[in-house]
Amino acid sequence: MKKSSLSACMLLLCYCFATAQTIKVPFTSDQWISRQAEMVQETYMGKESIFLKAGDIYLKDVGFLDGTIEYDINFPRARSFPGCYFRMQDTAELENFYVRPHQSGNPDATQYTPVFNGEAAWQLYHGKGYSEAFDLKFDFWHHIKIDVHGLQAEIYIDDMQTPLIKVAELKRTPKAGGIGLTSGGAPVHYANLQYALRPAVAFSPAPIPANGTGGLITRWQVSNVVSSSLFEKKYQLTPAIKESLTWTTQQTEPSGIINFSRFGRLTNTTTTIVARVSIESGMDQIKALSFGFSDVVTVYFNGRALYAGADVFRSRDYRFLGSIGFFDKVFLPLKKGSNELWFVVAENFGGWGLQAKFDDMEKISLK
């Protein structure tokens, strides 16, 4: 009896997936709303389309959680980032897939990124599962499909049988929301927007390693967002600095990346956040710590400045992306007992984050 019930449930689930209703939304529909959009409806290269000269357009009253989104896109050879928003809670909280026509054929020709508090994070999420090379064509109709289910998504371009990108873990907690299209900074044509809703699937986030596993720091004390001027020419932490900060305990993602945009919103005057961790050492010793950051960092150890660096987009050459990784290393002169490590991280553009790991955890523990 139990096997029969299970079989019936599986058949029903398969039926629901197979018969998801496709909803086509013409650009003449009053379901569309715009944000600073300049647009013209026109027939272009044989398709009824919207010529989005600038800005974004959104579908209102769409509760998209799981399902598919498909559209045709046509762009010129220009630096731009046209693409699709989904599971939009508002214009600052959403998932985003876009293409970079000016990077056609390069590893970053395509990109998935979450947006928290209005901050995209492609510098934190790059490579397999986030970005992929693709030979984009210009003045050509590409067909794109985004298949979303739980915490995963497959993204197809032109070839609808083989996904170009398999997103193993969408970074935002699944929640039904809107769908949008963006010009991405240059004129673009869109046509044949359609979506299909499917029953939501159960999801389980990937487990986060215990703090210190394999040397990885997965739990930080994170401050409020402050002005970078608080730390200017400060080579030692002062009582005034400490009194300006409040703290919450936050976990990283399984990779050890902590995306600060989850916890604070940037303003024109406040662009800096602090992550700190306490290190208990069983003896006086020196420990190597590898880390990555985006975009500007000052490291304080036991109250004194130890390191400063900047990985701002294009700060080294025109193709320098400022992507995060374990690319830097410091050697911490631990004293026996309690030690405190601070990372003061300022954001410039493209992702606000940190990751760090010890080469080994011998005779140390994290608090």
- In tens, the pLDDT along 250-278 reads 999 999 999 999 999 999 999 999 999 99
At 197, which amino acid appears? L
Q: Which two tokens stand for residue 238?
A: 């002062």
The answer to whether residue 6 scores a pLDDT higher than 60 is: no
Label the pairing between strands 296-301 and 364-366: unpaired
- Where does the pLDDT of residue 10 fall: very low under 50, low under 70, confident under 90, or very high at 90 and above? very low
The answer to whether residue 155 scores a pLDDT higher than 80 is: yes
pLDDT tens profile 162-193: 999 999 999 999 999 999 999 999 999 999 99
Q: Is the peptide bond before 295 cis (omega within 30 degrees of 0)?
A: yes
**183 contacts 83 by C-beta, under 8 angstroms:** no
pLDDT tens profile 117-126: 999 999 999 9
Averaged pLDDT score across all residues of the chain: 93
Q: What beta strand segments (E) does 140-234 contain?
A: 142-149, 152-157, 165-167, 177-182, 188-197, 219-223
Query: Under DSSP, is residue 65 helix (H, G, I), strand (E, B) or coil?
Result: coil
- Report, as an integer, the average pLDDT of 5-29: 62
Between CA 29 and CA 158 the distance in angstroms is 26
- Where does the pLDDT of residue 5 fall: very low under 50, low under 70, confident under 90, or very high at 90 and above? very low
pLDDT at 317: 86
pLDDT tens profile 72-103: 999 999 999 999 999 999 999 999 999 999 99
Domains and CATH numbers, the chain: 21-197 (2.60.120.560), 213-366 (2.60.120)
Residue 101 φ/ψ, nearest 5 degrees: -55, -35
**74 contacts 143 by C-beta, under 8 angstroms:** no
Q: Which two tokens stand for residue 138?
A: 């210009």
- Report, as an integer, the average pLDDT of 131-143: 98
Query: Under DSSP, is residue 4 helix (H, G, I), strand (E, B) or coil?
Result: helix
**241 contacts 232 by C-beta, under 8 angstroms:** no
Residue percentage of the chain with pLDDT more than 90: 90
Between CA 249 and CA 208 the distance in angstroms is 15
- Where does the pLDDT of residue 7 fall: very low under 50, low under 70, confident under 90, or very high at 90 and above? very low
Buried b (16+ CB within 10 A) or exposed e, 52-68: beeebbbbeebebbbbb
User: Which among 7, 5, 136, 146 is positioned nearest to 64, based on CA atoms?
Assistant: 146
Q: Is the dihedral of CA 64, 66, 72, 76 positive or negative?
A: positive
In 10 A of CB 249, how many CB atoms?
A: 8
* Angle (nearest 5°) at CA 173 between 167 and 175: 105
Q: Which two tokens stand for residue 304?
A: 């004194």
pTM of the model: 0.91
pLDDT at 18: 45
pLDDT at 316: 86
**250 contacts 219 by C-beta, under 8 angstroms:** yes
Between CA 356 and CA 342 the distance in angstroms is 11
